[in-house]
Amino acid sequence: MFKGSLVALITPFRNHDVDETAFQEHVAWQIGQGTHGLVPCGTTGESPALHDDEHKRLIALCVEVAKGRAPVIAGTGTNSTAHTIELTRRAKAAGADAALIVCPYYNKPTQEGLYQHFKAVHDSVDLPIIIYNIPGRSSVDMTNATMSRLAKLPNIVGVKDATNDLGRPLRMRVDIGADFCLLSGEDATAVAYLAQGGDGCISVTANVAPRLCSEMHEAWQKGDTAMVRQLNQRLIPLHDALFAETSPAPVKYAASLLGRCTAEVRQPLWAIMPETQERVQRAMRGAGLLN
């Protein structure tokens, strides 16, 4: 259903408010650069710091620019089932094509709790759902067995897998089948994930290198492994630099160097350190993104 390079969109701010013009220009640039899917209001978009009205507005703004040229997968997950249902309903009303729902963070539900959480959202809103499994931030790890149960529900269509366990996609293909969409959530291992049965990547790096990321996935789909290797080697220092401090602060700084937005993040995030700024600049020059 979804494949290739999908961008985990940053949310531009200016003087603490959402910069709607910068956001829509960023979405339009992504489409023009060949990005295959758009993910507004995910954690890279600082969703925990967004007000509900901002959340709904950003999804609507993204849909308005996309105009069906690329699917819009709206981040709607929170650590409250009722709130997640409400945000998912709003995303559907705004025209999103699917919802990306993170495993509830901090609460640490059991595997049965995870199943019941996602089932409750599934049963409440008629919208395709991609599970976001990121144990490093949520403190819970959905097992393949739980995911297999959820995959039997018609609108649970895939996973954004940020476990960095490269055995998982292969095992999920065996356990769940070919129709379940497997998207990496880790830029640095995205190619290895594709080799293990993945369909694509929901990428942070694509915010600043959309053309390189989309070309790499298109080369993979064509079987041009030499081009994949060349592009991947070009991008790996940038992947590393963009996670040198807590994301999305480094990628927003990188985007500011391209004039796409300010580097502003909302608290409790904070601006990156000068040494990290220098590292991001070096990586962008190395990737050919800055003169």
- Catalytic residue numbers read 132, 160
Q: Nearest CA to 274 among 233, 245, 240?
A: 245
Ranges of H-type helices in the chain: 20-32, 52-66, 81-94, 111-124, 135-138, 144-151, 168-176, 190-195, 210-222, 225-241, 249-257, 274-286
Alpha carbons within 13 angstroms on the beta-carbon side of residue 108 total 3
Output helix, strand, coil percentages for the chain, rounded to the nearest 5: 50, 15, 35
Name the β-bridge partners of 39.
8
